[in-house]
Amino acid sequence: MMEGMTRLPLRLLLVLTLGLALAACGGGPSSEESADALASMKSSVDDELRAMAGVLDASGLSVEQATGRVDDKGMSTRRAQDYLARAVLVGSGDEAGQVEQAATALEDAGWTRKAAGLDAGEANPWVQLERDDFRTTIGWTKVGPRELALRLDQAGDVEVPDDTPVVDRDNSEDIPLD
Closest by CA position to 98, among listed 142, 150, 48, 154? 150
Can you name the residues that pair with 148 across neighbouring β-strands? 89, 140
**Which pLDDT band, with edges at 50, 70 and 90, does 111 fall under?**
very high
Can you name the residues that pair with 159 across neighbouring β-strands? 80
Segment among 19-28, 57-66, 77-86, 125-134 with least mean pLDDT? 19-28
Domain boundaries, the chain: 29-174
pTM, entire model: 0.80
**Which pLDDT band, with edges at 50, 70 and 90, does 4 fall under?**
low
What integer pLDDT is reported at residue 22 of this predicted model?
A: 36
The CATH architecture assigned to 29-174 reads 2-Layer Sandwich (3.30)
**For residue 164, what is the enclosing H or E element?**
none
**What are the φ/ψ torsions at residue 159 (nearest 5 degrees)?**
-70, 135
**Cβ(121)–Cβ(139) under 8 Å?**
no
**Cβ(92)–Cβ(110) under 8 Å?**
no
Q: pLDDT digits over 112-169, tens only?
A: 999 998 876 678 899 999 999 999 999 998 888 899 999 999 999 999 998 888 888 8
Q: What's the distance, CA 34 to chain centroid?
A: 16
136: exposed, middle or buried (C-beta count within 10 Å: 0-12, 13-18, 19+)? buried
* Beta-carbon contacts of residue 46 (< 8 Å; ≥ 6 apart): 68, 85, 175
